[in-house]
Each structure stands twice: as structure tokens, then as C-alpha cells.
């Protein structure tokens, strides 16, 4: 159960107050209570005087300074038995003593006991002492709690997690698909274990290594592997943990981190998401951020300042290297920038082999087939893919993961969870024509990727899907391939237009048209694939960095902008007319495919090509055989 100092305060203070009053009520008894215990009955002052006149009083004991008396009297109503009674005396009765002397009554005055004052004083002292002691232990306990009141004076301390011997459970053997990055970082580990191997030839280890790559490619996993292999003290912290709302706190934390690191050198310091603290200084609308810039300045000084950081190796990770300060990236601070990119098919196969170690796969499942079907997947995506397949296997109560679970997991990861099947209606038939339009165009165009399957099972926001499987790992894309992709994306709208008429086209092609417009504009403005010539008219940066890119001017005039729009429209119109021609030329095959798709809801790519070959020539597409 999580400790809460607020709950402890709420329970401790009432308990102390109740205990104080219990103390007062139990021990601070007054002499009045003693007189009450000494006499079980009372007698009025008037009756006392009558008994005194009748010589029925034998002795009188005065208490409380003469305000109370314990009287021994003879009561005729009780057969003249002697009884002790209590009498409350008036404040002014000076004649009483004289009268007692006249009657010869024995009397004695008992001094007031000071017990009540003593107990009251003790009670008044004990309560503050108990309160102070309770608060002392309370704040002492809360000093160790994150965010507790005791942390008020320690917010300038580093929040880095320190491991004298990092036991992450991850080694380089557990990292697959990024062999080039592993080789770079293995040198760091080798230097830490065997520095003489490098110093003998005059080499020095890089002071910093920056891991750059998209999310999910394994940057943090590499850092864990380095920690597990190096066997030296390891510090890990996130870039966001340096910055606070108070100016100067981040710089103080950087100083504290490097002080601890120097005390434990040689060691490794891993800073995740360094772009949170390492952004360019002085950039941004309205000026920079003083706290972040002071933190960055301190980090620059500690990494390669006047004193240096001998024995400390900084490893940082980011997916936004474009926003980092130039002073942070120079040699002497981050000497190496290691790109951790999405793996190729060989890397994906290695990653799948790692993540499938603890999963029961059916012998019919081919990891190579999964690797070929998942281009662009990162290591995190592939791990999630196999986990989703294992969940589906358990849900279906199977003993091992089959190819069916793998296919469904790929569909779920890429397109979303499966929806309710469509009922047989006009809408379902229209969606079938739309998807068959994509598949027909993609199959008949030589430069288009082959069809993997066509389905009417809804997933995510899509009511139907046509899957294409790239036949090779392409770093470069030709103009004919781009036009084939545009034509294939327009195949669904072309089918609606040809089959149902222009008045019946639907909004189902909305996403397709966005992709078409983006590809056609990039052909004109970035790749020089139009009549405007080999000109790049737009920058290739994907995201705007405020202060640097927000006020950037256009690189071309209004007349060029008009020509760009005309060229984009020309490319799209040409591809759309080609798609409609394919629809008209293969109308009989389309109708057969639609009836089959409505009946089966899913058509495999190989089956699709075999049926289409009965009606027309299907071009052979190059098959990519990976060198595994």
C-alpha cells in the first residue's frame, strides 16, 4: 500500500488531542474528588449547625482552604450511629471556629494538595512534546518520499537512476536487426573493459554517442544492452527530468549528475529523449526558454568544458536530431551519431527470431514470410505483432500460434481491430466494387506492388481493405512506380465512376485522394518529375520548428505555384483516365470478382491472380528473394 504523509497527519493529530484530554481527565484529579470519595453522603450547612448545637458533631476535618468539611455526626434517626458526611461551607463563616471550640468539637485543617497543578503542568508539557515528536518522525519519513515536504530543499539534486552494476537482463545477443549500430556501440563496451587495446595505438574513446532514429527502432534497447554488457556504473535519466519551473534547477541537476558520475568513473550516463533539454538556444517565437537554455549550457560545459569529463561516456537518444543545438552535436561532445533506422527484411527476420523464442509457433509458420509481409515495421512493431498473435491464440484456445493468427495480428496492428461484418446490401456491393477496383489496377500494372488479399471485413475506420505486398526493399522509387501507385489508389473511385455513374460516387475514396494529392505534389515539387524540370521547389523537412521555419518564405513565385497546381492536376487526371480504362476493359472480370468477394468476404492474392488470368494477361512482377 502506498504511504501517504497527509493521511498520517490526519490520523496522528486527533489521536494526540484525544490522548491529552484522556490524560487530563485520568490523572489531574482535584482534592474535591478525594473528599467525594471520603464521604458517601452530604449534609447542608444549616443542618450541620443544628447538629452542632445539639452536640451531635464529634469531629470536623476542613479541606480546600475551609470550603469543604468532612463531619462525623451522630444521627438519631439511624440508632445514633456515627456517620461521615460532607458539608459545603460558606465562604465567610468566621464564627464557626469559635463555635466548634465552645462545643469542644475536635477539628483539623488539611492543607490544599498541589497534585492537580502538577498533573496539569505535566499534561500541558506532554501534549506539545508528543506533537513535536510525532511531527519529527513524520517529516523524517517523508524525506524519503518523492514529492514529500522533505524534498523542498533537495529539488536541485539529480534524479538519475544509478546502478553500480546494471542488471537489465539484456545483452547484445538480445538486440537484432540493427547490426551496424551494435558494432559502433560494442566498441564503447570494449574500451571500457579493455582500454589498453585502444590507448596502445593512440586512440581515445568517443566522449558521446548520439542514437538517432524513428520511435520504436531500438535506441533505448541498445542502451540497456550496453548497460548489461559493460559491467561499469550506469546512470540513466530522461531529458525532461532536468527542467523545472524554477530557473537554475536544471543546471544544478546537471552539475550534481556529473559530480556523481566523476566519483564513479569510468561510467556510462544515458540521457533518453535529449531533445527535451538540448533544443536550439534562442529559437522560438517570443524568445527562448531561460531554464532550458541554462540547463543546456551547463550540459555543454560538463561534457566538454574547461575541466572535461574524463572517464564519463554519454549516450543519448532522440528522434528529433533536427532541433538539437549545433554546439551539442560537434565532435568532442557527441563524437558519433549512430542512426538506428527501421530494419530491412534480414533485420526483421532476426528480430522475429528473438521475439519468438518464448512463443509456441506452429511448424507451418514461416518467419521469413512474416518478415516479407511487414516492410517498414520497427522492432517495437514486430514485438507487438507477435504478442497480438499470442493473445489471439489464447483467445481461440489453440495450443500454438498459426499463420491465421499472424495474418489477423498484422491486420489489427496496421488497420485496427476487426469490426462487425457487413450485411448483404447495396452498400456492401458498392464497397466490393471499390476494393476490386484497387486490386484489378494493382495487378495489371507491372510497376505496382502485387495484391496480398482483398477483404470486406471492416477494420478501424475502413469498411473494406485491399492489401499490397512490396516485392522488394526499395530505397529509390522510379517515376513509373509512383504513377502506378497513384493509379492504383484511384482504382476504387474509378470503379465507382464506371460501374455506378458519376452521380453515385461515394466518400469512400477520401483517404485515397489525400494520398494521391500528396504523391503527385511531391513528384512535381521535390523530385523534379514534371514539365517544370529537375527543380526541388519545397524543403523536405516534415515538421515545423517554431522560430526557424515558421516565417520561412516560399521558394517560388505565384506563377510557378500556378504551374505546380496545373502539373499536379495533369498527373492525377492522366492516372485517373488510365484507371477508368482498365475498369471498362475488364468489366466482366470485375463482376465475377465482386460476386465471389461478397460470398467469401476475403480473396487471397494468389487466387485473385489465377482467376484474372482467365480473362486477360497478367504481367509477371519481379520476385524479391532476400539474402538471408
The 10s digit of each residue's pLDDT in 86-140 is: 887 776 566 777 777 777 777 777 776 655 566 666 667 766 777 777 777 666 6
Maximum alpha-carbon separation in the chain? 148
- Which carries the bigger pLDDT value, residue 115 or residue 426? 426
| DSSP single-letter state for residue 14 | H
Average pLDDT, the chain: 79
pLDDT at 27 over 50: no
Cell numbers placing 587: 468489366
Separation CA 560–CA 264 (nearest Å): 61
The 10s digit of each residue's pLDDT in 285-334 is: 545 567 778 888 888 888 886 666 667 888 899 988 888 888 888 888 88
Share of the chain above pLDDT 90, in %: 19
The 10s digit of each residue's pLDDT in 175-196 is: 888 888 888 888 888 887 787 8
Separation CA 223–CA 317 (nearest Å): 9
Write the DSSP assignment of 286-298 as a string of letters. Answer: T---HHHHHHHHH
Nearest one of 219, 573, 555 to 379, comparing CA atoms: 219
- 3-state secondary structure at position 215: coil
The distance in angstroms from the start CA to the end CA of the chain is: 51
Q: What are phi and psi of 545, to 5 degrees?
A: -105, 115
Residue with cell 447542608: 44
Whether 239 and 265 have beta carbons less than 8 Å apart is answered as: no
Q: What are phi and psi of 106, to 5 degrees?
A: -75, 130
> What's the Rg (C-alpha) of the chain?
45
State the pLDDT at residue 103: 75
Q: What are phi and psi of 175, to 5 degrees?
A: -105, 120
| DSSP single-letter state for residue 195 | T
Q: What are phi and psi of 582, to 5 degrees?
A: -60, -40
Nearest one of 385, 377, 389, 409 to 217, comparing CA atoms: 377
Whether 534 and 528 have beta carbons less than 8 Å apart is answered as: yes
Cell numbers placing 570: 495533369
State the pLDDT at residue 147: 46
Cα separation values, 11 from 134, 227, 402, 417, Å:
11, 45, 58, 49
Whether 84 and 72 have beta carbons less than 8 Å apart is answered as: yes
Q: Which of these ranges, 97-106, 140-149, 370-379, 548-557, has the smallest mean pLDDT? A: 140-149
State the pLDDT at residue 150: 47
- For 314, the enclosing helix (H) or strand (E) is strand 312-318
Whether 522 and 571 have beta carbons less than 8 Å apart is answered as: no
Separation CA 509–CA 517 (nearest Å): 12
Whether 460 and 417 have beta carbons less than 8 Å apart is answered as: yes
Count other C-beta atoms under 10 Å from residue 330's C-beta.
12
What residues are annotated to the active site?
435
- For 457, the enclosing helix (H) or strand (E) is none
Separation CA 298–CA 63 (nearest Å): 80
Cell numbers placing 355: 521475439
Whether 492 and 437 have beta carbons less than 8 Å apart is answered as: yes
Number of helical H runs and strand E runs in the chain: 22, 14
State the pLDDT at residue 1: 45
pLDDT at 156 over 70: no
Residue 329, judged by CB atoms within 10 A of its CB (0-12, 13-18, 19+), counts as: middle
Identify the top-confidence range among 38-42, 144-148, 377-381, 460-464.
Answer: 377-381
| DSSP single-letter state for residue 454 | E
Sign of CA dihedral 495, 498, 504, 507: positive
Bridge-based pairing state of the strands 451-455 and 336-339: unpaired
- Which carries the bigger pLDDT value, residue 206 or residue 593? 593
Separation CA 426–CA 504 (nearest Å): 12
Cell numbers placing 8: 498520517
Share of the chain above pLDDT 70, in %: 76
- 3-state secondary structure at position 361: strand
DSSP bridge partners of 468: 451
Amino acid at each position: 500500500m502506498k504511504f501517504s504523509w497527509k493521511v498520517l497527519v490526519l490520523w496522528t493529530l486527533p489521536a494526540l488531542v484525544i490522548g491529552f484530554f484522556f490524560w487530563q481527565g485520568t490523572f489531574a484529579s482535584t482534592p474535591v474528588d478525594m473528599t467525594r470519595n471520603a464521604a458517601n453522603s452530604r449534609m447542608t450547612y444549616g443542618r450541620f449547625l443544628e447538629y452542632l448545637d445539639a452536640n451531635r458533631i464529634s469531629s470536623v476535618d476542613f479541606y480546600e482552604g475551609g470550603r469543604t468539611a468532612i463531619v462525623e455526626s451522630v444521627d438519631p434517626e439511624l440508632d445514633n450511629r456515627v456517620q461521615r458526611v460532607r458539608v459545603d461551607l460558606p465562604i465567610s463563616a468566621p464564627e464557626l471556629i469559635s463555635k466548634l471550640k465552645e462545643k469542644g468539637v475536635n477539628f483539623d485543617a488539611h492543607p490544599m494538595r498541589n497534585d492537580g497543578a502538577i498533573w496539569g503542568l505535566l499534561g500541558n508539557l506532554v501534549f506539545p512534546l508528543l506533537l513535536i515528536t510525532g511531527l519529527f518522525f513524520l517529516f523524517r519519513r517523508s524525506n524519503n518520499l518523492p514529492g514529500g515536504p522533505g524534498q523542498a530543499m533537495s529539488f536541485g539534486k539529480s534524479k538519475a537512476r544509478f546502478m553500480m552494476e546494471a542488471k537489465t537482463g539484456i545483452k547484445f545477443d538480445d538486440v537484432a536487426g540493427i547490426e551496424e549500430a551494435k558494432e559502433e556501440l560494442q566498441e564503447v563496451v570494449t574500451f571500457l573493459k579493455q582500454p589498453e587495446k585502444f590507448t596502445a595505438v593512440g586512440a581515445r574513446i568517443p566522449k558521446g554517442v548520439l542514437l538517432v532514429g524513428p520511435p520504436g527502432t531500438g535506441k533505448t534497447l541498445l542502451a540497456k544492452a550496453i548497460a548489461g554488457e559493460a559491467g561499469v556504473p550506469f546512470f540513466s535519466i530522461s531529458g525532461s527530468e532536468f527542467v523545472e519551473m524554477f530557473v537554475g534547477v536544471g543546471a544544478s541537476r546537471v552539475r550534481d549528475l556529473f559530480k556523481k558520475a566523476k566519483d564513479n568513473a569510468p561510467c556510462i550516463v544515458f540521457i533518453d529523449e535529449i531533445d527535451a533539454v538540448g533544443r536550439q538556444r534562442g529559437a522560438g517565437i517570443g524568445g527562448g526558454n531561460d531554464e532550458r537554455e541554462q540547463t543546456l549550457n551547463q550540459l555543454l560545459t560538463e561534457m566538454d568544458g574547461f575541466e572535461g569529463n574524463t572517464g564519463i561516456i554519454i549516450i543519448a537518444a532522440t528522434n528529433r536530431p533536427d532541433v538539437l543545438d549545433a554546439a551539442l552535436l560537434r565532435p568532442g561532445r557527441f563524437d558519433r551519431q549512430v542512426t538506428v533506422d527501421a530494419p530491412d527484411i534480414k533485420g526483421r527476420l532476426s528480430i522475429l527470431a528473438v521475439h519468438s523464442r518464448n512463443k509456441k509457433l506452429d511448424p507451418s509458420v514461416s518467419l521469413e514470410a512474416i518478415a516479407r509481409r511487414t516492410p517498414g515495421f520497427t522492432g517495437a512493431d514486430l514485438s507487438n505483432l507477435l504478442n497480438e498473435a499470442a493473445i489471439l491464440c489464447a483467445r481461440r484456445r489453440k495450443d500454438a500460434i498459426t499463420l491465421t493468427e499472424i495474418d489477423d495480428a498484422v491486420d489489427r496492428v496496421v488497420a485496427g481491430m476487426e469490426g462487425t461484418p457487413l450485411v448483404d446490401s447495396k452498400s456492401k456491393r458498392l464497397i466490393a466494387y471499390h476494393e476490386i477496383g484497387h486490386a484489378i489496377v494493382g495487378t495489371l500494372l507491372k510497376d505496382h506492388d502485387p495484391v496480398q488479399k482483398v477483404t470486406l471485413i471492416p477494420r478501424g475506420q475502413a469498411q473494406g481493405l485491399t492489401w499490397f505486398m512490396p516485392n522488394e526493399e526499395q530505397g529509390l522509387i522510379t517515376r513509373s512506380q509512383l504513377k502506378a501507385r497513384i493509379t492504383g489508389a484511384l482504382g476504387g473511385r474509378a470503379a465507382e465512376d464506371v460501374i455506378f455513374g458519376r452521380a453515385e460516387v461515394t466518400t469512400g475514396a477520401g483517404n485515397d485522394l489525400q494520398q494521391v494529392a500528396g504523391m503527385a505534389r511531391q513528384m512535381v515539387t521535390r523530385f523534379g518529375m514534371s514539365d517544370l524540370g529537375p527543380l526541388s521547389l519545397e524543403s523536405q523537412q516534415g515538421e515545423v520548428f517554431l522560430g526557424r521555419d515558421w516565417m520561412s518564405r516560399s521558394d517560388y513565385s505565384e506563377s510557378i505555384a500556378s504551374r505546380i497546381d496545373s502539373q499536379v492536376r495533369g498527373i492525377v487526371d492522366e492516372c485517373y483516365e488510365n484507371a477508368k480504362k482498365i475498369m471498362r476493359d475488364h468489366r466482366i472480370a470485375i463482376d465475377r470478382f465482386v460476386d465471389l468477394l461478397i460470398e467469401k468476404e476475403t480473396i487471397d492474392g494468389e487466387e485473385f491472380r489465377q482467376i484474372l488470368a482467365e480473362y486477360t494477361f497478367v504481367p509477371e512482377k519481379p520476385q524479391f528473394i532476400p539474402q538471408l
